[in-house]
Amino acid sequence: MDVKDIKPDEVLDCVGLACPMPIFKTANRIKEMQPGQVLEVQSDDDGIKKDMPAWCNKTGHEFLGLEQQGEEYRVFVRKK
């Protein structure tokens, strides 16, 4: 699946926040979501390229992919 085809259930804006805040905010938001729902996290911290897949691997959520648009990243996570 191409990330361009993903329709997120919720969008979390973390632009301007440095590590570890995007992961911290993702963890809090995903707790409020239903299993199977998809969260799009927007960030301009390039650490998210490594941090989000690692966090998903540790927590069991599914890392669906990442799209870079200029200085910003869109990361997609499906709640387990």
Is residue 57 a contact partner of residue 23, using CB atoms and an 8 Å limit? no
What the chain holds in terms of domains, given with CATH numbers, is 3-78 (3.30.110.40)
How confident is the model over 6-21, as pLDDT tens digits?
999 999 999 999 989 9
Which are the contacts of 16, defined by CB distance < 8 A and separation ≥ 6?
44
Segment 22-71, tens digit of pLDDT: 999 999 999 999 999 999 999 999 999 999 999 999 999 999 999 999 99
How distant, in Å, are the alpha carbons of 18, 49, 62 from that of 65?
20, 9, 9
What is the per-residue pLDDT for 1?
63
Residues with a catalytic annotation lie at 19
Evaluate if pTM is beyond 0.85. yes
